[in-house]
Structure formats: C-alpha cells, structure tokens
Structure 1
Amino acid sequence: PGFEEGYKACLAATDKAVPEGSIGAGTGATVGKILGIEKAIKSGLGTDSQMIAGDIVVAALVVVNAVGDVVDSRNGKTIAGPRNEQNKGFLSTLDLLKQMCDWQSWAATNTTLCVVATNASLSKEQVNKLAQMAQDGFARAINPSHMMHDGDTVFALSLGDKTCDINILGSVAADVVSRAIVRAVQKAKTLGGIPSISDMVK
C-alpha cells in the first residue's frame, strides 16, 4: 500500500463497528503453522477497545497471521494451534518445538500487524512507548511469539487532546491488543480448506 491507498482508507473511515474475521487483510491469515498449513487454523482481523477514566479510549486492530498458538490470557486457555491427528483439538507449538532442530522445514511467511490508537495527546516519544508496551499483548496471546519467521509490528497513533499517563495507556493497550488477537481467531470463518475454531467445535 502507498499514499493513494492511505488516502482512500481515510476517506472510507467510519465511526461504525469494524467488520472482523476473514475479511480484508485478514482473509489469508492463519495460526498454528508449526506442522505446515495443512494443520493450521483460520485466523483473521480482530479489534478491541477500552475506556479509561470515562473519556480516554485505547483501541486496537490486529491482523493475526502467526506461527504460534493463540491463547486467551484471561483464562490461559489455548483457543487455536496446530490441529491434532483427529482434527478435534490442538497440539502445543512449544512442545513440538522442543522436539525439533530444523526450522526451515516449516518456515513460512507470517506477519502479525497491529494498529493501536488513543484519543489521548501524546508526544512522539510517548507514542513510540505506547507501541512498545502494546506489543506485550502479542506475547500474552501468541505462544510462542516474536519468532524469526514472524513479522510482528505495532503502529501507534495519538488522535486527540485528552490527558492520560503513558504508563496507564501502555498497560491498557497491551491488554486490548491481546483481546483483539483472540477476537481475530474467534471471528474467523473456514476458508480455503482451513477450518475455523467455530467449525472445529461443531
């Protein structure tokens, strides 16, 4: 994407709910790819937001296309990972890694992209700190995360004139990002022969 695409995106901006799941940049997203795409789970695009002190908003939009498993940090449950032989449950990517030394056999293109925005007024340095702290949400919800075959990136935006401590904003941002990652998997639909978790439950 370039300048023209960015301009079109601004024109299309809305205050309505953002579609989630297997749409847009999330169409081809998958997770749990340690055993190859044939054992992966469908992922997509997820969003979440949190209100702080009544009028401060921290929001995140994430496209989750990762090697690792996805974990709901609120209860510690793995909700997506490489499918087992019966295709009724998940194997642990970390446990499988402990049995390997060959990384290239399952290497693939993976990128988890995230945008975090707030209506708090922040300096350039504070926005960078917001992005840094927000990325902790990756480690909470993707296990393992930040691997060499993952392209993990967080962009942060400050779009308002409200006042809020950066430590509070960053802490909340990490939580919001982790929840958005979970939603990206929960909202995904089976596509291209790769099942969603909702179809596996059925």
Structure 2
Amino acid sequence: MTRPQLLSAYAGHWTGAGTGVTVILPPPGTVASGEVRGGAPATREFALLDPTRLVNRVDAVVLSGGSAFGLAAADGVMGLLRERGAGFPTPAGPVPIVVGMSIFDGSVRTGPPDAAAGRAAALAAWSGEPFGTGRVGAATGASTGSWRLRQDPGGLGQAVRAAGPVQVAAVVAVNAWGDVLAGDGSPLFGGTAAVAGTEAPFGIANTTVAVVLTNARLSKVDCFLLAQSGHTGFARALHPAHSRFDGDAVVALATGEVTDGVDLDLVRATAAETVAEAIRTAVRPALGPG
C-alpha cells in the first residue's frame, strides 16, 4: 500500500458537489495540540487539545466544508475507528479521539458533508488513493479575497520540509477572507477590488484550517507551540489573517519516530515556512503555467 506524502500518516479525501472532507489518520500514540486564532471557528473536540487537558493523543483530524453542519463528518470517522479498535482506552472500551475543523462553503445551503462522507474520506486514506491538492476534499468550495469584494480561488495545499533530522508536513484548506500572498508579499490574484456596485459577500463565509505534522518526538506543550508557528505561516501567506470573520485553526501532530537531534525552535521555524508554502500550493493550479 502506497502512503501519501504525509510522513507516517494516512490522508484521504471525499469530494462532493461544491464541498468535501479531508481526513488525516496519524499512527497510534501521536501527540497533539492546537490553537484557534480566528474569530468564527467551527471545531469539534478542540478543548482537549489544550496542554492542560488529560488526553494527549489524537486518532484523526477531520477537515470539512459545511461550517458547523460539516462537523458531522467526524462521526463517520469516529465510528470507523471504533470498529477497528482504535481510541483512548477506557473501562468501557476505546474512545477514538477525533478532532474536527470546518470551513464555510455553499453546502451550508445545499447539503453539507455528513458521517458517510467522513467515513468515505477515511477509507480513501487507508486505501492509498492519491492525495490531491487544489479544489478537492475539504476545500472543494473554498475561495479567497472576500475582503476586496472578490471571489478568488481557494483550495487545499500540502508541503513537506526538513528541519535537520526531522520532517515537517502541512495540509491547509484555504478559504480565507483575505488574499493569498506571494513570497514578496503581493496578492497572487491582484489587488484591484471588484467593480462598483458588487454586493458584499457574507462576512463570515471564510476560514483557513491546517494540520502540521512532524515525525519528531514532542510533548503536548511542544505541539501547542508548533501550532502557534503554523499560525505564523498563515500570517506570512494570507492578508489579512485571523480576522473576526475567519475561524482560523491549526492542529499540530507529533508522531515521535525521531528522538535524537530534535531542535524545537528549528522545527517551529520550519513549520511556519511549510504552512506558508502549503497555502500558496493550494491556489497554484488556478494561477496557470509560469
């Protein structure tokens, strides 16, 4: 079975009509934390990612369209993991720890992803299907540039970089209120507002969500700091980032295979660059050749 390019994790999509689901399935025992910086989040089980909470591992992260409705996709992933015996051990049996993050798209009106869609995305991850980027999975209905009264392309991007002996990967669903920026800080889709008289889009139809994954052995506090660095990547490649109209959130996962030579600050710096690269990769197909 061929794994996608996400270190030791499985990853897969379900893509529907204008919406979708993306599932990340890390190996057992993966340590996790996360942080929300946007003003309008749609999340599931995010409170347990706080470093002070008891559970320090995650069995799946589910990105979905459909705003709060789309969080139902995580139910399908949770049920599938339960069938396979995965989860946090309890006297009544394992309880899968499934974190969800959703973006706002048109499926809020037409029909958001459900538990069956989440299950399908998880099965696609385990099957070894190619893990595409662009307008697929959770970012099928994504757009950017709303703050300029535009509807520029959004999408799903991924990137992988090395930090010494450690690898850092990022998967980002980009549905930002702001612009996607090139490396020189200029908007990739231009800086001209829409023509006069264009009706302003709904102010909270946005959100960028990301998963940062490393094969380093990190603590839960370390993962929280890594998630913060993921948000630094948002600020480098999106403007404005973390608005009150976005639900910007990052989950950081550490699978723990690499124990020697781990420099947390180098891993964090690399994560910021990796997330920024993944954001630009998300919209690159829309830019065409060159």
Partner of 1:85: none
Partner of 1:67: 177
Taking a change above 3 Å as real, the CA distance of residues 115 and 198 of structure 1, as seen in their structure-2 partners, is same
Q: Matches of 1:119 and 1:92 in 2, distance apart?
A: 42
Taking a change above 3 Å as real, the CA distance of residues 177 and 17 of structure 1, as seen in their structure-2 partners, is farther
The residue correspondences of 1:42-57 to structure 2 (distance < 5 A) are 42-53=153-164, 55-57=165-167
Taking a change above 3 Å as real, the CA distance of residues 158 and 179 of structure 1, as seen in their structure-2 partners, is same
Answer yes or no: is 1:77 the counterpart of 2:186.
Answer: yes
Partner of 1:181: 279
Answer yes or no: is 1:109 the counterpart of 2:109.
Answer: no
Q: How far does the alpha carbon of each residue in 1:172-191 deviate from its partner, in whole angstroms, 9 at most, with x for none?
A: 0000000100011113xxxx
Q: What amino acid does structure 1 have at the position aligned with 2:246?
A: D
Which is further off, 12-21 or 151-160? 12-21
Of residues 153, 156, 169, the one that matches 2:252 is 156
The secondary structure found in structure 2 opposite 1:186 is helix
The secondary structure found in structure 1 opposite 2:253 is strand
- For structure 1, the 5+ residue unaligned runs are 81-88, 94-103, 188-195
Contact 2:213 2:254 in 1 (8 A): yes
Q: Matches of 1:13 and 1:124 in 2, distance apart?
A: 26
Q: Matches of 1:172 and 1:186 in 2, distance apart?
A: 21
Higher-RCO chain (CA-CA 8 Å, sequence separation at least 6): 1
Q: Matches of 2:229 and 2:222 in 1, distance apart?
A: 10
Q: How far does the alpha carbon of each residue in 1:18-63 deviate from its partner, in whole angstroms, 9 at most, with x for none?
A: 2000011110000001244xx311111000010222x411000000
Q: Give the CA deviation at 1:115.
A: 0.1
Partner of 1:133: 229
Of residues 234, 238, 259, the one that matches 1:142 is 238
Partner of 1:19: 132
Partner of 1:5: 77
State TM-score, norm by structure 2: 0.53
Q: Give the CA deviation at 1:10.
A: 5.1
Q: Give the CA deviation at 1:161.
A: 2.5
Percent identity over the alignment?
A: 36
The secondary structure found in structure 2 opposite 1:58 is strand
Contact 1:72 1:179 in 2 (8 A): no
Contact 2:145 2:152 in 1 (8 A): yes
Aligned residues: CA RMSD: 2.5
Q: How far does the alpha carbon of each residue in 1:118-165 deviate from its partner, in whole angstroms, 9 at most, with x for none?
A: 000001110111101121000000011110001100001001231312
Of residues 214, 219, 226, the one that matches 1:118 is 214
Partner of 1:91: 192
Contact 2:148 2:193 in 1 (8 A): no
Aligned pair count reads 170
Q: Give the CA deviation at 1:108.
A: 2.9
Contact 1:128 1:156 in 2 (8 A): yes
- For structure 2, the 5+ residue unaligned runs are 1-72, 82-118, 195-199
Q: What amino acid does structure 2 have at the position aligned with 1:171?
A: A
Contact 2:159 2:275 in 1 (8 A): yes
Q: Give the CA deviation at 1:76.
A: 2.7
Taking a change above 3 Å as real, the CA distance of residues 51 and 143 of structure 1, as seen in their structure-2 partners, is same
Of residues 252, 260, 263, the one that matches 1:165 is 263
